[in-house]
Amino acid sequence: MTPGPDVTATAARLRARYTGTLAWYGTHTRRWWAMIPGHPRLLEAPTPEALELLLASRLWTHQEHRVARAARSARLSRALPPRPRPRACPRQPVTA
Protein backbone atom coordinates (compact mmCIF):
# COMPACT_ATOMS: atom_id res chain seq x y z
CA MET A 1 0.00 0.00 0.00
CA THR A 2 1.54 3.30 -1.05
CA PRO A 3 0.69 6.55 0.72
CA GLY A 4 -1.60 8.97 -1.08
CA PRO A 5 -0.53 12.38 -2.38
CA ASP A 6 -1.87 14.18 0.71
CA VAL A 7 0.19 11.92 3.01
CA THR A 8 3.31 12.45 0.91
CA ALA A 9 2.76 16.21 0.85
CA THR A 10 2.19 16.34 4.61
CA ALA A 11 5.38 14.37 5.29
CA ALA A 12 7.31 16.67 2.93
CA ARG A 13 5.89 19.73 4.69
CA LEU A 14 6.98 18.39 8.10
CA ARG A 15 10.48 17.62 6.78
CA ALA A 16 10.74 21.09 5.25
CA ARG A 17 9.53 22.85 8.39
CA TYR A 18 11.83 20.93 10.74
CA THR A 19 15.11 20.85 8.84
CA GLY A 20 17.11 17.65 9.24
CA THR A 21 14.12 15.76 10.61
CA LEU A 22 12.83 12.65 8.87
CA ALA A 23 9.04 12.33 8.97
CA TRP A 24 6.83 9.65 7.45
CA TYR A 25 3.52 7.86 7.71
CA GLY A 26 3.69 4.17 8.60
CA THR A 27 1.27 2.36 6.32
CA HIS A 28 1.26 -0.75 8.51
CA THR A 29 1.12 1.05 11.86
CA ARG A 30 -1.14 3.82 10.55
CA ARG A 31 0.81 6.25 12.71
CA TRP A 32 3.00 9.25 11.95
CA TRP A 33 6.71 8.92 12.78
CA ALA A 34 9.68 11.27 12.97
CA MET A 35 13.37 11.02 13.71
CA ILE A 36 15.25 14.07 15.01
CA PRO A 37 19.03 14.23 14.47
CA GLY A 38 20.82 13.79 17.78
CA HIS A 39 17.67 12.62 19.56
CA PRO A 40 17.87 9.03 20.86
CA ARG A 41 14.28 7.96 20.13
CA LEU A 42 11.69 7.96 17.37
CA LEU A 43 8.65 10.16 17.83
CA GLU A 44 5.22 8.70 17.08
CA ALA A 45 1.77 10.27 16.89
CA PRO A 46 -1.69 9.40 15.56
CA THR A 47 -2.02 12.54 13.39
CA PRO A 48 0.36 14.89 11.58
CA GLU A 49 -0.81 17.74 13.82
CA ALA A 50 0.07 15.75 16.95
CA LEU A 51 3.45 14.86 15.45
CA GLU A 52 4.07 18.52 14.69
CA LEU A 53 3.39 19.40 18.34
CA LEU A 54 5.79 16.69 19.46
CA LEU A 55 8.46 17.88 17.04
CA ALA A 56 8.11 21.47 18.18
CA SER A 57 8.36 20.56 21.86
CA ARG A 58 11.24 18.10 21.42
CA LEU A 59 13.25 20.39 19.15
CA TRP A 60 12.72 23.31 21.50
CA THR A 61 13.83 21.26 24.51
CA HIS A 62 16.75 19.76 22.57
CA GLN A 63 17.86 23.23 21.45
CA GLU A 64 17.54 24.62 24.99
CA HIS A 65 19.77 21.85 26.33
CA ARG A 66 22.39 22.45 23.63
CA VAL A 67 22.44 26.19 24.33
CA ALA A 68 22.61 25.67 28.10
CA ARG A 69 25.42 23.13 27.72
CA ALA A 70 27.41 25.50 25.48
CA ALA A 71 26.89 28.41 27.88
CA ARG A 72 27.95 26.29 30.85
CA SER A 73 31.04 25.14 28.99
CA ALA A 74 31.92 28.73 28.05
CA ARG A 75 31.50 29.88 31.66
CA LEU A 76 33.71 27.08 32.95
CA SER A 77 36.42 27.70 30.38
CA ARG A 78 36.55 31.39 31.36
CA ALA A 79 36.50 30.62 35.09
CA LEU A 80 39.29 28.07 35.14
CA PRO A 81 42.91 29.11 34.67
CA PRO A 82 44.79 27.40 31.88
CA ARG A 83 46.40 24.11 32.83
CA PRO A 84 50.15 24.14 33.27
CA ARG A 85 52.03 22.17 30.67
CA PRO A 86 53.60 19.00 32.03
CA ARG A 87 57.34 19.21 32.35
CA ALA A 88 59.48 16.52 30.91
CA CYS A 89 61.31 14.55 33.56
CA PRO A 90 65.02 14.25 32.97
CA ARG A 91 66.04 10.67 32.41
CA GLN A 92 67.98 9.12 35.20
CA PRO A 93 70.70 6.66 34.33
CA VAL A 94 69.77 3.11 35.19
CA THR A 95 72.17 1.63 37.71
CA ALA A 96 72.35 -2.06 38.28
21 forms beta bridges with none
Which has the higher per-residue pLDDT, 75 or 25? 25
pLDDT at 8: 92
pLDDT at 27: 93
For the chain, the average pLDDT equals 80
- Per domain, the residue ranges of the chain are 5-66
pLDDT at 3: 61
Strands laid side by side in the 42-45 sheet: 22-26, 31-35, 42-45
pLDDT at 82: 65
Q: Is the pLDDT of residue 19 over 60?
A: yes
Contact (CB, 8 A) for 94 and 83: no
C-alpha separations of 45 from 26, 48, 66, 93 in Å? 10, 7, 25, 71
CA–CA gap between residue 5 and residue 90 (Å, rounded) = 74
Q: Residue range 54-78: average pLDDT?
A: 69
Give the tens place of pLDDT for each residue, 34-64.
998 888 889 999 999 999 999 888 876 655 5
What single letter denotes the amino acid at residue 15?
R
